Amino acid sequence: MLSYFLTALGLMLVIEGLMPFLFPASWRAALIKLAQFQDGQIRTIGLLLLLSGLVLINWIR
């Protein structure tokens, strides 16, 4: 079970690192825009991403 978790964590880090590695200027611009959002908007985005991930995991299994 721990190996699955660590594999998933490693894959997440690889995916998270792709944008700043391949497109640093676009990534920086996106972070600047994101910093200007209200807390509620950021929470909504986070909730949608979380739910999308759970649906994807459930669909794969």
Tell me the average pLDDT across 40-44: 96
Closest CA to 29 of 43, 19, 38: 19
How do residues 7-41 score in pLDDT, each as one tens digit? 999 999 999 999 999 999 999 999 999 999 999 99
pLDDT recorded at residue 60: 84
Show the domain range for 13: 2-60
1 has pLDDT over 90: no
Domain count along the chain: 1
What's this model's pTM, rounded to 2 decimal places? 0.71
Q: Which DSSP letter does residue 36 get?
A: T
Provide the CB-side half-sphere exposure for 60 (13 A, CA).
6
